Chain A
Amino acid sequence: MSGRGQVKIVDEHDPEISPERLIERFGRDFFRDFDIDDPNLNEHFHEVIDLMVQKCPVAHSKVGSGYHVFSTEDAVRKIGQDWQTFSSAKGYIPNRPDDQPLMIPVEQDPPNHTSWRRVLNPHMSPQVMDAIRADVAREVNLLIDKFIDRSECEFISEMAGLLPGRAFFIYVLGVPVDDLPELVHDVDKSLFGPLDTRTKYHKKVYDYLEDFMKKRQAMPPQGDIVDTILKGVTYKDGEAAPWDHQVSVVLDLTYGGISTTIYALGSIARHLADHPEQRQQLLDHPEWIENSVEEFVRAYSPVVAMGRTCMKDTQVDGIDLKEGDYVMLGFSGAGRDPRTIANPKELNFAEPTIHHATFGVGPHRCIGSHLARMELAVFITEWLKRIPHFQVKPGTEPVYETGFLRAMSSLYLEWK
């Protein structure tokens, strides 16, 4: 088999995945005609993703110049690790407009990417995150204080939408606490506000963070991640990374971490609300909470898919790819791949050897993964201490959005 538009289907004669049946069920043939922005994907998300990883491990999209979506954990790992063949330097979103500045370092390849990661990683290590665990626990409790007596909350705007921003801006970036309410609000608007105002708020966040960097430049060094970014790195051509790259690093850290963690928190709260028996497991076995975090992010990956550009002709999972082809690493499917995980739709908190690709694989492994793991475990621990039993408020439905990220924009919870 060769040629563009190729898909890999396990059984061509399987009636469940004929184009007609898929269109009837999901409003689109997501296997042969994938579109990450189709609202039908949002509506039928896990049904489509689960069927895809099981029966169509390589799907194809005709949107723009077209792209393939690889869903098995094995293919995602191979592509993610082989950065020489699969470059990040042309963008992580398909059909990216040429005039949009690249995000640094996520849209770079080694060795320039490595130059940044080498200096940034020590600020985001498991050891550093352990040291702010108690601070994050206090933040969780301060947020719970505000609504616990009401016996209900809108979880996204009152908890999930606030915690990642506060944890990152206060304890990682060191932004003045007085600036937080507006900054966290603007980040939220730039992600989940009306579509036509998102660019405006994104620009506002950019301007704030650039101004913050300039102010820090004039201050004595504090030995933190901001100083490391201000000190900068030297690229392979011997030139210093320019100022707009330094600001981009701060933006990348901010946006890479916040919306993804909001979704992870929302998914955890919803799952525990809907599964009293699994909630009880964590109440009985708090020592399972760290494992549960791995299971939650495996089954509910905040990143649906991220892309790479082929730098040479190659083959992955039986599909021929040409130089210049765009491929997407389907993290949502890879975490629910029955080839590597027994019962992938079930969450197993007792299982101690969970592996998944949700934080990425290869040199672009999520730099905030240790912050996220700590934050999610602290959230579960503190929440269950104070609100051990809760449910989705009757008459409400959680609201989701889907693009290359999966997001949750509202979740009403109640308790006695």
Chain B
Amino acid sequence: MQLKVDEMLCSGHGRCAKFAPAVFSLDEAGFNTAVGRVVDVPPGEEDNATKAMKACPERAISDAGQ
């Protein structure tokens, strides 16, 4: 599973790191450190990553495979 994080849309809500701390981390301002990149979801983390994707108020996280 690969997810991409939209650089223009991330506004620092921080919900992604709350739901999937093994997938996403926050920079010192509280923004997703993977903005503008595609993230490989580690095996076993798919459920958490999906929750993080759905919880983002900006819909900034999307499935890179689609």
Contact B28 A352 (CB under 8 A): no
Q: Take A352-B51, A353-B19 as given contacts and tell me if A359 and B13 are in contact as well, using a CB distance cutoff of 8 Å.
A: yes
User: In the complex, which of the residues A122, A125, A290 has the most CB atoms of chain B within 10 Å of its own CB atom?
Assistant: A125
Of A167-175, A207-215, A361-369, the one contacting chain B is A361-369
From 105 to 159 in chain A, residues with beta carbon under 8 angstroms from any chain B beta carbon are 118, 121-122, 124-127
User: Which B residues touch A122, using CB under 8 A?
Assistant: 28-30
Q: Take A77-B59, A353-B19 as given contacts and tell me if A125 and B29 are in contact as well, using a CB distance cutoff of 8 Å.
A: yes
A355–B51 Cα gap in the complex (Å)? 10
User: Which B residues touch A126, using CB under 8 A?
Assistant: 14, 17-18, 26, 30
Contact A118 B15 (CB under 8 A): no
A290–B26 Cα gap in the complex (Å)? 18
User: Which A residues touch B54, using CB under 8 A?
Assistant: 353, 355
Contact B57 A125 (CB under 8 A): no
Contact residues on A (Cβ < 8 Å of other chain), bracket: 20 to 34
User: Which B residues touch A240, using CB under 8 A?
Assistant: none
User: Which B residues touch A124, using CB under 8 A?
Assistant: 30
A365–B13 Cα gap in the complex (Å)? 8
A121–B10 Cα gap in the complex (Å)? 13
Hey, which bits of chain B sit against chain A, CB under 8 A?
9, 11-15, 17-19, 26, 28-31, 51, 54-59
User: What are the nearest 9 A-B pairs in CB distance?
Assistant: A125-B30, A121-B29, A365-B11, A353-B54, A126-B14, A353-B51, A122-B28, A122-B29, A353-B55
17 contacts between A and B (CB under 8 A): A81-B9, A118-B29, A121-B29, A125-B26, A125-B29, A126-B18, A127-B28, A352-B51, A353-B54, A355-B54, A355-B56, A355-B57, A356-B57, A359-B13, A361-B58, A363-B11, A370-B14
Hey, which bits of chain A sit against chain B, CB under 8 A?
77, 81, 118, 121-122, 124-127, 290, 352-357, 359, 361-363, 365, 369-370
